[in-house]
Structures are given as structure tokens and as C-alpha cells.
């Protein structure tokens, strides 16, 4: 376990160095965010898959470190499950954590790795982490989740070198609360009916008054 942490620390230390000039155009892998639904409701638990794929580094990846940004006013982070690749036998470590920054943005810091033994670098397929969020609010809106490219999305290859990945974004639509609409609709219909009944009652009264006046006049 100490060896895994050492690799993750080495990756973090690499961020303090100067980013290669061609890093922005030379990504070693792609990322994709995929919500489990496109019609979430307030109170739902939504799973968002974070996939690392399209690995171009010939040495393969043994550690992943990236950040998923979200709106904490709408989503509340719950947990993360990492589906470790079959090639990553032995000890694996998941150091994922989440926090809301001083800027008001929520961030899930995905950080997981293999034990760093040679020959376990993943070069094919997909490395997946499943993030769970509870929908707190945002009826009738769409909230965005985002991974940024560059120094906030990186990995270690089988040689212990830091490589960078391309970011992505995903939209999560949140349905309107139909219950409230039904209540408002029913209330509107009730008001219309009451108003109509009052109008009919008033007309009857006016008609009676007119008939009474007509009789007296005769």
C-alpha cells in the first residue's frame, strides 16, 4: 500500500513541474462522463460513470488522477466505486475524495492506482469509476459536470512517467416537479368553477329583482 501511495505522491509532485509545451495537443488518454439517466428528479440518486479510454501510451496506465467538477447547490456527492482493470492484480488503492471549494464549486478528486509492479500498465479497454450524486434541487434545469484537460487530468504509465488526458463535459437534465403543476392546475380549475357559479348566482338574483320590480310596476 505504501508503494501505491508513493506513486500517487510522485504524480502529484509532477504537477509542480512545468507542463510540457505540447501537453495540450498530445493526450495519452481520453475521458468521458456518462450520467445513468437524462431525466433525473429531485431526491434521485444518479450514477455518473467516469471512463478513461483511448489510451495511446504504449507503456499503459497504472494510476489515474483527475477532477470532476459539479454544482453542489444541485448535486450532493455520495460515493465512488472504482472498477479496477483485471490487469491490476494485487493491491489497488482508491484515495478519491470530494469537497466544496471557496469558489462554491464542488469537486470530486478521483485518485486510484495499482501497486506499481512492472507489466500492469493498461493499454486497451476502459478504466471506469462510478460516482454517485443525490439530486438536491434544480427542477426544470440542466446541470453540468466537467473534467478539465491538462494538469488536472493525468496518469502514471508503467515507467512511472506522468502523462496527460483530455477532459470532457456532460449535461444532467432535471425534470420539473409535476406534482406542483397538478396542484396549480387543479387550483386554477377550482377558481374558475367557483367564479362561474358566483356569476350564475348573481345573474339569478338580478333576474329575480327585475321580475319583482316589473310586478310592482304593474
Sequential DSSP letters for 11-35: HHHHTTSPPPTTGGG--SEEEEEEE
Residue 125 and residue 185 in one domain: no
**CATH code, 150:** 2.60.40.680
Residue 111 and residue 190 in one domain: no
Any idea how long the chain is?
A: 218
The pLDDT score that the predictor gives to residue 191 is: 65
Residue 110 and residue 82 in one domain: yes
- The number of domains in the chain is 2
* Positive/negative CA dihedral, 80, 81, 85, 90: positive
Last residue of a domain, one of 153, 173, 193: 173
Residue 133 and residue 193 in one domain: no
Residue 95 and residue 190 in one domain: no
% pLDDT > 90, the chain: 62
The pLDDT score that the predictor gives to residue 185 is: 55
Q: Cell numbers of 69, please?
A: 467538477
Residue 90 and residue 150 in one domain: yes
Residue 112 and residue 163 in one domain: yes
pLDDT in tens, 164-192: 999 999 999 999 976 555 555 556 666 67
Residues 116, 91: Cα–Cα separation, whole Å: 9
Q: Which residues are 142's β-sheet partners?
A: 173
On the CB side of 2, how many CA atoms lie within 13 Å of its CA? 0
Residue 88 and residue 189 in one domain: no
Residue 72 and residue 134 in one domain: yes
pLDDT in tens, 82-132: 999 999 988 899 999 999 999 999 999 999 999 877 889 999 999 999 999
The pLDDT score that the predictor gives to residue 152 is: 87
Residue 49 and residue 110 in one domain: yes
Q: Cell numbers of 36, please?
A: 445513468
- Can you give the pTM of this predicted structure? 0.74
Residue 33 and residue 98 in one domain: yes
What domain range includes position 154? 2-173
Q: Which residues are 154's β-sheet partners?
A: 65, 164
Residues 157, 58: Cα–Cα separation, whole Å: 9
Whether 157 contacts 62, CB under 8 Å: yes
Residue 217 and residue 110 in one domain: no
* The pairing of beta strand 29-35 with beta strand 162-166: parallel
Q: Which residues are 127's β-sheet partners?
A: 52
pLDDT at 208 over 70: no
What value does the mean pLDDT of the chain take? 83
Amino acid at each position: 500500500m505504501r508503494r501505491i501511495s508513493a506513486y500517487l505522491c510522485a504524480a502529484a509532485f509532477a504537477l509542480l513541474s512545468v507542463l510540457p509545451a505540447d501537453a495540450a495537443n498530445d493526450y495519452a488518454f481520453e475521458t468521458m462522463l456518462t450520467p445513468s439517466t437524462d431525466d433525473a428528479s429531485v431526491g434521485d440518486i444518479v450514477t455518473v460513470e467516469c471512463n478513461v479510454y483511448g489510451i495511446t501510451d504504449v507503456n499503459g496506465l497504472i494510476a489515474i488522477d483527475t477532477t470532476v467538477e459539479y454544482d453542489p447547490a444541485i448535486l450532493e456527492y455520495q460515493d465512488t466505486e472504482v472498477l479496477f482493470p483485471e490487469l491490476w492484480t494485487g493491491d489497488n488503492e482508491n484515495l478519491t475524495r470530494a469537497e466544496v471549494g471557496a469558489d462554491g464549486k464542488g469537486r470530486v478528486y478521483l485518485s486510484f492506482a495499482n501497486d506499481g509492479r512492472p507489466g500492469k500498465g493498461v493499454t486497451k479497454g476502459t478504466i471506469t469509476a462510478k460516482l454517485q450524486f443525490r439530486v438536491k434541487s434544480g427542477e426544470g434545469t440542466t446541470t453540468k459536470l466537467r473534467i478539465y484537460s491538462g494538469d488536472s487530468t493525468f496518469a502514471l504509465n508503467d515507467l512511472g512517467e506522468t502523462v496527460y488526458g483530455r477532459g470532457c463535459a456532460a449535461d444532467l437534465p432535471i425534470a420539473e416537479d409535476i406534482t406542483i403543476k397538478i396542484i396549480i392546475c387543479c387550483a386554477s380549475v377550482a377558481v374558475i368553477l367557483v367564479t362561474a357559479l358566483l356569476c350564475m348566482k348573481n345573474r339569478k338574483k338580478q333576474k329575480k329583482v327585475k321580475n319583482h320590480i316589473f310586478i310592482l310596476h304593474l
